[in-house]
Every structure is written in structure tokens, then in C-alpha cells.
Amino acid sequence: MKRKQDWINDMRHTFPNNWVNDIYHMHNKFGVHEWFEANKDNKDLMASYLQFRLDMCREELDETCEAAMACDPEEVVDGLIDLCVFAIGTLDVFGVDAKKAWNAVYEANVAKQPGVKPGRPNPFGLPDLLKPEGWTAPTHEGNHGDLSNAL
């Protein structure tokens, strides 16, 4: 008979993590949602908070690039995940439905066709994603959460 922890570990490998839910629960644990709700009508504070989170995304990206230049795979992985945490976390805290936004962008991207984009070097031989005639860009209308409180 399997131990409960073994079963839980098996389930985590069988079903992929849900990063959006993980971030939501982490924000609840650390009081981020509570803080946001108490302060979301303070436009100056929200603008500063959004800028802070975007700055953290930039910092994580910079650190990841530095790690790649230093040939440090551990820090590349860590930096890429930290970038995801801040990006998904920003959507979460501002009340944007990240799953809905993801699906809109994903559907638009898979509707593209493989090809070669003229004028752009492509040293890897992988296809560019080209917008076919009639392609529609994703829209996030109605899914901006409380971002207007910061913009």
C-alpha cells in the first residue's frame, strides 16, 4: 500500500502544476490580496505598485541574461521561474484572469502558420509564426481586472 506522500508525489507528476492557482495561494498566504483590496482605490499607490512589479520582472530578466552569459544553468532556470512568478503574480494581484488571457494568446498563436518572416534573420532554421489572412489578434477586453486603478 502506498504512503499518502508517495500518492501525492505521483499525482503531482501525473497532473501538471497549475501555476496560476499556486500564485493565488501564495499571495493569500502572504496577505497580498488583502493588502491590495485595502489599497486598490489609491491610484498613486497602485501605479507605484504596478511599476514595482514590472521592475521586478525586468530585474529577473536581467539576472537571467547575466546567468546565461556566465553559463550558469541553475540560475537561468531559477531566473526564468522567478520571471514567471512575477508576471503571473502581477496578473493575479490585479485581478486579471490569467487562464483566460493565456488561452486568448495561445489560440491566436496556434492559428498562425509556419513560414519565414521576410527581413528578419532566422539563424536556427525554425519556422516563424506568420499571421495568415484573416488572422485575429487576441483581445483581453473585459479582462483587465483592476489595472485601470494603476494606469
What pLDDT was estimated at residue 125? 86
Give the length of the chain.
Answer: 151
What pLDDT was estimated at residue 120? 85
* Residue pLDDT, tens place only, 91-143: 999 999 999 999 999 999 999 999 988 888 888 888 899 999 999 999 999 99
Taking residues 60-89, report their average pLDDT: 97
Q: Please give the model's pTM, rounded to 2 decimal places.
A: 0.84
26: nearest Cα among 106, 79, 103, 81: 81
DSSP state, residue 96: -
The yes or no reply on domain 4-149 and CATH 1.10.260 is no
Rounded to whole angstroms, how far apart are CA atoms 78 and 111? 31
